[in-house]
Amino acid sequence: MKMTKLNLASLFLASIVSMTMSGCDSKTSPSSSVMPDNVVLTANTNESTLSVFDMEANGTLTKVDDVSVGYKLSDLIIHPNGKFLIVMNSASAEGSWDNNGSVGVYSIGESGLTLVSEANMTMALNGAITPNGKYIYIANQDNYEVSAFSIDGDTGVLTELTTSPTDEYEAHSIVMHPSGEFFFVGSEEGQIYSHMIYDENGSFSADTSSIDYNGQAAFNWLAVTPNGEYLYSGNAWGTEIYGFTINQTDGNLTLLDGFPIDNPSNGLKSTALTPSGEYIYFTAFDDDDVTGYSIDDNGILVLVDSTATGNRPKSIDISSDGKFAYVANYGDDNVSAYSIETNGSLTTIDTYAVGDGPKRVITGYVP
């Protein structure tokens, strides 16, 4: 198992005090463990912890620790420079669903996982960061808006972008275009909105276009292909998969011919693409499986197969080398690990216990 010089206590907090957006204080607990270079994290929303794993070269996971952090965790992002962990919290206090959430930025260093900046908002569900790491956008569901911030790459301090418009829709999911010029927002009411980013200050346009299925679909998770040409989402309330072409000038979406298509299983709450853009996977929350498709040159999906998961699969992520997939099973409090075969099919490696209610799983590299 490859290790770095950093202590895990140098990475993760055992306890965190409530802090403001600047001048934050924090507490750490010493540990003799060391943090992995290649990390898999789960956001365990029911107990407000991170489960931390070292990802081995063969895709197996070695449990490092369960660490208390944030409140009612809903999403995690490792900053592109690897110096910060960004945590979306959907509540303000342990055990409380009071819709007073926040986003917190934690520095990763020898002194611990230290909260350096925090901004309050209502129910922060999902975040997207520009490829250069300068700006982050948060789907802020119950306040019917997207919250936007600049983030200092050296200090991690957040600065709210007051020039960003408020859009009156239920923002549930958000994904960045690989160019960093657009982002897309999905709602549980059947809409997907496109926004242009102004790089000079990170502000963004009111929606340049919208797709509206008028409550007939719930877009809980969006995925954009690495080449930026296509966007896909499953219906969290059903079996339909939607595919769109992306206009590279203004980010407008157009439904692909033949879509939506029917997935074999129901409740498509999350999706993930391989880094090559060759394969895409959808988890079925209601039927406990994950279904894979190949993507042809025209954006059409071709079924590969379906593979069993644990109970209530809530999230999926793919390793940066495209060799492994990890699924957070909300109902079983564990993570399923799979190898991705050359034809896109999944082979189960093992399952690993995590904290209560894993809502998100991410993979990443921390130098």
23 burial via Cβ count (<10 Å: 0-12, 13-18, 19+): exposed
| DSSP assignment string, 123-164 | -EEEEEE-TTSSEEEEEEGGGTEEEEEEE-TTT--EEE-TTS
- Asked whether the beta carbons of 339 and 297 are under 8 A apart, the reply is no
Query: What pLDDT is attached to residue 171?
Result: 82
Query: What pLDDT is attached to residue 18?
Result: 32
Dihedral (CA of 316, 259, 249, 201) sign: negative
Query: What pLDDT is attached to residue 142?
Result: 62
- Asked whether the beta carbons of 364 and 330 are under 8 A apart, the reply is no
Give pLDDT tens digits for 262-275: 999 999 999 999 99
Distance CA 281, CA 241 (A): 11
Domains and their CATH numbers in the chain: 3-365 (2.130.10.10)
Residue type, 62: T
Distance CA 216, CA 322 (A): 33
Query: What pLDDT is attached to residue 34?
Result: 44
- Asked whether the beta carbons of 313 and 291 are under 8 A apart, the reply is no
Query: What pLDDT is attached to residue 169?
Result: 67
Residue showing tokens 């365990």: 44
Query: What pLDDT is attached to residue 110?
Result: 65
Q: Strand pairing of 279-284 and 268-273?
A: antiparallel
Distance CA 45, CA 359 (A): 6
Distance CA 349, CA 345 (A): 13
Which two three-digit tokens encode residue 288?
């406990």
* Ranges of the chain whose pLDDT falls below 50: 1-34, 95
- Asked whether the beta carbons of 344 and 294 are under 8 A apart, the reply is yes
- Asked whether the beta carbons of 72 and 89 are under 8 A apart, the reply is yes
Distance CA 41, CA 67 (A): 10
To the nearest whole number, what is the mean pLDDT of the chain? 86
Q: Give φ, ψ of 93 to 5 degrees.
A: -145, 150
